[in-house]
Structure 1
Amino acid sequence: MNIRTIALTLSLFAAASCRQENIIPVTETDAIAIKTEKITIENYAKAVESAGIITSDKEARLSFKVTGIISKLYVHEGDMVQKGQLMATLDQTEISAQLQQAKNDYEKAQRNHNRMGNLHKDSAATQEEFENSATSLNSARQLYNIARFNKQYATIYANQSGSVIKKEMSEGEITTAGTTVYTINASGSEDWVIRIGLPDKEWVKLKKGDTATITTDAYGDKKFKAVVSEIG
């Protein structure tokens, strides 16, 4: 550029020197206003698009606390339930028998301990015999409490209001303690979330607090605003 600019300047000077009589006067022209702006570099993140599943942030898996045979299932997939509603029960035959036996053993141990206490006062029973009766009483009490616990938790009640999204077992099946029988979602509008799966190269672009736009087939072109609340 510098060489080309200099060459043009020299050609004009030579022409002006050789032909003085044909010099054309140069007139000033109006200045053109130019607005300048400072150039900055900004990064614009490309939008991440993916399909997801609408679910509840408060999903509960309900199970019995004890092992037994499922006697009755009162609700099915898709049903709405209210908090505290009875959903399922185990067969009570064996559980009730165990409770009655534990109660009888506890009452017997209590009577024996009282008798040993009286004998110990009269020096008719040794200290060891009295302590053994106390130990037997404590053991019987614990077994009785366990039997009552089993009786109480041989039922499933809804821990929250919502909808049954999955029924895992059927009536007549044997279930163990902790095995999921129902899965329910909370029904509150503030409990709904959308879960999506993304490859590593996509999710690393996101952070909590990022905004999102949601569309669904059910609502056509209507758009909903959302916020990234969990990554992991």
Structure 2
Amino acid sequence: MNRYSTMETYAQLLKKAILTGGLVALSLSLVACSDADAVDDVAAQEEVETVIAIPVEAQPLTTGSISATYATTAILEAKEEAFVVARASGIIEAIYVEEGDYVEKGQVLAQLDKRRYELNLAKARADLAGLESELEKVNKVYSQQLISDDTYDKLTAQYESVQALVRLAELDLKETTIIAPISGYVAERNAKVGNLTESFQRERMFHIVQQSNLQGIVYLPENELTNVKLGQPATLVVSALNNAEVSGQVQRISPVIDAATGTFKVTLSVPNQDGYLKAGMFTDVALEYAQHSNATLLPRRALVTIDNQHSVFVVEDGVAKKVNISTGFEQNGLIEVMDGLNGNETVVTAGHQNLKDQAPIEVVNS
């Protein structure tokens, strides 16, 4: 074989090797691409199949009664109270009651020094006795027309005047005994033994309150006048008694509007037979205007409002279905559903801030 034949053969072998290598490389590249596409397809399939459910809290709807109310505040007052002042002047000799004591109407509270009043009464009675004796004698001679009518009339008038003085002295003596004008509890005792009290002085000796029936005074805006009726129920919440609820009712409605404030006065009657309530307690008041029975009730926190449109998310087959509703009364964290729900649904109450219609959910009530 000559040199040229050998070179030709080598060139042909090299060409075959290059061609074969290219085919192998191409084949490997195609296999690699095919494997990568397969991995991407599996990942995409897993991504489609892996759906993240949003955790929410949910609560079923309930059925019950709900009222339309007007919320305000009031301070409880004694329906009946008395500020006891002395009608007579004198030194206080004795005090028979203390603050917190219950007293009956007519019970003795204190006693003033009465000696001066006893002497005044004795003198008035003596004067009256003397005039009675003299008038007896005059009557005998007057019938015989031995004295003038003028003299007789003056003596009669003097007798009647002394009679009045006796009655006045009796009253003064009686008023040295200080008595309770009403039944109730002694809220204040300002009187002290040994002190001088003046008749009808401004400083009161005792303050008595009757607390078996209290009242609450509320002032409502004039546009509520047509909504308030006598006997209308009211609920009072007393924070000082661990938010205890007390029932009351409208007892009086003022017929006039205060021009300065645009409000009118409403007086509530508040029974207090057990004595737990005290005059001066602060209360939250809810006046009940109307009541609906057998209403479908929705938790307030389940409601979603956007542009005055109310809606809720109903739990249905693992998804949150958005339903538009119309509402009615609202009371104590509950809202009346007027339309949109039948009352058998369970609604999302927490975790619904970013929910969308038909979003997958998982109920995880605590």
Common topology (TM > 0.5): yes
* Distance in 2 (alpha carbons) for counterparts of 1:117 and 1:124: 10
What residue number does 1:163 align with? 185
Q: Which residue of 2 aligns with 1:31?
A: none
Residue type of the alignment partner of 2:179: Y
- Residues 106-117 of structure 1: matches in 2 within 5 Å? 106-117=128-139
2:225 is equivalent to residue 225 of structure 1: no
- Aligned with 1:99: secondary structure? helix
Q: What 5-or-longer segments of structure 2 have no aligned partner? A: 1-66, 254-264, 266-366
Cα 1:175–1:73 shift into 2, 3 Å: farther
Q: Secondary structure at the match of 2:236?
A: strand
* Residue segments in structure 1 that go unaligned for 5+ positions in a row: 1-43
Match of 1:186, SS state, is strand
Give the helix-richer structure, 1 or 2.
Answer: 1
Q: Output the TM-score relative to the length of structure 1.
A: 0.66
- Between 79-88 and 99-108, report the one with greater CA deviation: 79-88
Do residues 76 (structure 1) and 98 (structure 2) align? yes
Match of residue 174, structure 1, among 197, 215, 218: 197
Change (3 A) 1:80 1:109: same
After TM superposition, give the deviation of residue 159 of structure 1 in Å: 3.3
- Are the structure 2 counterparts of residues 222 and 174 from structure 1 closer, same or farther at C-alpha, using a change threshold of 3 Å? closer
4+ residue stretches of structure 1 with deviation over 4 A?
A: none
After superposition, the C-alpha distances for 1:80-137 in whole angstroms (9 at most, x for unaligned) are: 1123321122220211111111111111111111122223345543332222211111
Query: 61, 66, 71: which is aligned to 2:88?
Result: 66
Displacement of 1:168: 4.0
| Equivalent residue, structure 1, for 2:209 | 185
Number of aligned residue pairs: 182
8 Å CA contact retained: 2:86, 2:197? no
1:48 paired residue number: 71
C-alpha separation between the residues in 2 aligned to 1:176 and 1:80? 25
> What letter matches 1:185 in structure 2?
V
Q: State how far apart, in whole Å, the 2-side matches of 1:164 and 1:184 are.
A: 5
SS at match of 1:88: strand
| 2:126 maps to 1:104 | yes
Q: In the aligned structure 2, how far is the partner of 1:147 from the partner of 1:111?
A: 21
- Report the AA paired with residue 95 of structure 1: Y
Whether the 8 Å contact between 2:79 and 2:211 is mirrored in structure 1 is no
For the aligned residue pairs, the C-alpha RMSD in angstroms reads: 2.8
What fraction of aligned residue pairs are identical, expressed as a percent?
21
Higher strand share goes to which structure? 2
